Structure 1
Amino acid sequence: MASHQIRVTVNGTPHEAEVDSRLLLVHFLRDVLRLTGTHVGCDTTHCGACTVLLDGAPVKSCTVLAVQANGRELMTVEGLERDGKLHPIQEGFWEKHGLQCGYCTPGMMMTSYALLQRTRSPTELEIRQAISGNLCRCTGYVNIVKAVQYAAEKLREE
C-alpha cells in the first residue's frame, strides 16, 4: 500500500501525518487525530453525520480521502467551542432542543455553521435546504431549524 505525508490544519492546529492512500478523512480525524466528534454513519454520503468543513465548505468526510485534505484547512465540531464558550450554533441546539440521540448533531452543526457563515438571516426554507443532506431520525427537524434560527439571531446580535 502506498502512503503519503500530509499536512493539514484542523481547528487552527497544524498536523502532519503519514497516511495510507485509501484512508478516508473521517478515519484520519477519528483514528489518527483522535477527534471523535465527527461521527461515522452510513459511509455512503447519505446521512451527513460525518460532515466537516474543508476550506470552509461542508463535505462528507466518509467519501473524502485524507490525502485530498493535504495543505488545506479543516474544521470539525470540536472547533466550534472557543475558550470554553459554546458557539451560538451549539447553544441553539441546547436551548431549542435540536438533538435527541445526538448522532446527527455534529454534522448538522457543521452544515448549519457553514450556512450561517454565508447567510446572516437564513429563511426557514434556506435552513431546510442547507441541512437536507443531513439525516435525523429522532427530531423531525423542527427543533433543528429553531436551533439554527436561534444561532442566526445570536450571531446578528454580536
Structure 2
Amino acid sequence: MTSLSHWVRLRPTMLSDLDFVISVEQDAANRPFITPWERTQHEGAVRFPDFRHFIVEAGPGYASAGFVILQGCRNPHHSVELKRIVLQPKGQGLGRACVRLLAQMAFRDLGAHRFWLDVKSLNARAQALYRSEGFVEEGRLRDSVRTEDGYDSLIVMSMLDSEYEALSEARQKGAA
C-alpha cells in the first residue's frame, strides 16, 4: 500500500463538511475508539475560536480522509488538547502524518507549552503511535467513559514544548 503521509493537508472544516464528519465518526471501525458528538457540538467547534476543526485531505487528489479537532487554542496556560482525530484509511501512515502536523501547529503556530490528549485504554494502536511520536503517559482516568460493554479508562498523554523541540532537532539530524 502506498503511503499517504507525503500528501496530507489540513483545511478548516466548513459547516457543509459536517455530514462527512458525522459519517466518519459513525463508521463501525471508528466508533469503539471515540465518543461521537452531536452535530451541534461540531458546529460549535467550527465556530468557536478556542477550537480548530479541520478536514484531513490525503492522497494525490487530496480526498477527504477524516477530521481532527484541537481545543484550548486560546488557553491562557498554553495547553492545547488534541481533542479528536478520526481517519478512514488505516495503516497507511496518515495518523502519524496528522499527529506531526498537529504537533507543529500546536507548538509553532499556537505557542503551546503543552500538547495533550486522552485515548481509550482499548486503543492500543493509537497509544503506540502517540508514544512513538514523543507523547508521555501522565495517568489514567479509570472507568471514565461508558461503552457498549461497560466502561473504559482514558489514558492522558502529553508532550511539552522542550520535548517537541528536542524531537524535531533529532529528526532533522537523522534526515541530514
TM superposition score normalised by structure 2: 0.30
Higher strand share: 2
The structure with higher relative contact order (CA 8 Å, sep 6+) is 1
